[in-house]
Amino acid sequence: MFRYIKAFLSSKPRLLCIVSSLLFLGAVGAAEFSDAREAQNRARQDAAPKNATKDQNPKNGEVLLLPVQGNISMLAGAGGNITVQAGDNGILLVDTGLATMSVKVLEAIRALSKEPLSYIINTDDRIDHTGGNENIGKTGRPLAFAGAGTRGLIAPDLDEQSQGRFRAPNAFIIAFSTLLDRMSAPAGQVAPVPEGAWPNDTYSEPQKNIYFNGEGIEILHQTANTDGNSMVFFRRSDVISTGDILDPTEYPIIDLKSGGSIQGVIQGLNRLKLMVIPAEHIEGGTVLIPGHGRLCDAADLAEYQQMVTIIRDRIQNMIKSGMTLEQVKAAKPTRDYDPIYGSNTGTWTTDMFVEAVYKSLSSNQDSRASK
Ligand SMILES: [Zn+2]
């Protein structure tokens, strides 16, 4: 099965000449090469094998379960990619897709295991990643409640009534603490999402570890698209769920209102680069499940990280030379990459990306962070 996956990974057009040109251009990083790269990227996009793309991005309304590596599978087509870890202890999901897709998601997961769903981990609080929390979470049961002496495990400070609520059959929903802040609401206000969708097991340290289905799982906090991104590293399977920090289908989303920043995204990508160990020409090596789109490997990550870094540098230089946001947009600092990552329509356009990078770099916080 891994060969099948590897075939996907290697079926992308990675012509030697394009790679070497990109490396050269990346090293130079100069805007004057953007015409050549734009043409190359356009040709590359046109030449992309349509089957590979389609197979990992099923048609509207369909979900596709794809074995990845170890005991990890990827469920595509439900919104953001969903990672499924299944084994004797039960099922763990990273993200839950859109609410409207929950029935199909549950059907697909049942094919992997009849054991209960114990954990959901949210990589951020965007609706295409947390939309199914309530529908899917309520079908689950926390592992701890199967055993004795676990009373009060989740929230020992709560009173009896609240404990009862938490003891109700339900999966743990793990997320960085700021996600709960945004998904719930201060007293007296209406929460943006129903309580059943809220994370019930938040963390606020840099890292939270759990052990499930015979494997250590590291949940790593990273400020990136928002202030509460989590990356999930399955140590034995050697798979990382990156959330939207890595999204080969578009420019990275930077949700400024939720504390996201371009520097955070780049820090996240740099961190992933240190974690990923490639195994060229033999089976193995770290596999990345991105927030959207097809499975990625170390080379895909390097390419995306380089693209984001080059665009950040260009916009940084434009800001330093005193250009306004409108002038930066008119200068098209992303032009050579637009054939692959750009969009004039949808929820995250190229214009929105450029504006978010500009504002992110112009804010005091980020200029401090970049020093
Ligand atoms: Zn997403």
Which structural domains are found in the chain, ordered by start? 2-12+48-305 (3.60.15.10)
Output phi, psi for 239, to 5 deg: -130, 140
Answer yes or no: is pLDDT of 164 > 70.
no
User: Mean pLDDT for the chain?
Assistant: 84
Q: Are 65 and 111 in contact (CB under 8 A)?
A: yes
Distance from residue 131's CA to the centre of ligand 1 (Å): 11
Among 342, 225, 290, residue whose Cα is nearest residue 76: 290
The pLDDT value recorded for residue 8 is 42
Who's near 353: CB < 8 A, 6+ residues apart?
251, 252, 253, 254, 334
pTM over 0.75, yes/no:
yes
pLDDT for residue 259:
96
Measured in Å, residue 288 CA sits from the centre of ligand 1 at 15
Please give the distance, rounded to the nearest whole angstrom, from the Cα atom of residue 196 to the centre of ligand 1: 21
Q: What is the pLDDT of residues 314-334, one digit of tens each?
A: 999 999 999 999 999 999 999
CA of 181 relative to ligand 1 center, distance in Å: 19
CA of 22 to the centre of ligand 1 (A): 27
> How far out from the chain centre does Cα 8 lie?
19
pLDDT at 148 over 70: no
Token output for 243:
């959330």
Quick check: 3 pLDDT over 60? no
The separation between the first and the last C-alpha atoms of the chain, rounded to the nearest angstrom, is 46
- Amino acid identity for residue 206 in this structure: P
Q: Which long-range contacts (CB under 8 A, 24 or more apart) does 205-209 make?
A: 208/174
* Burial class of 296 by CB neighbour count within 10 A (0 to 12, 13 to 18, 19+): buried
pLDDT at residue 144 above 70?
A: no
Q: How far is the CA of 160 from the centre of ligand 1 (A)?
A: 37
Which of the pair, 38 or 11, is modelled with greater confidence?
A: 38
Residue with tokens 């250009």: 323
User: Ligand 1 mean position to 279 CA, how many Å?
Assistant: 28
Helix (H, G, I), strand (E, B) or coil at 153: coil
pLDDT of residue 169: 62
How far is the centre of ligand 1, averaged over its atoms, from the C-alpha of 214 (Å)? 29
Mean pLDDT in residue range 160-178: 70
Cβ atoms of 158 and 125 closer than 8 Å: no
Reported as a single tens digit per residue, the pLDDT across 32-79 is 557 888 888 888 887 765 444 445 667 678 999 999 999 999 999 999
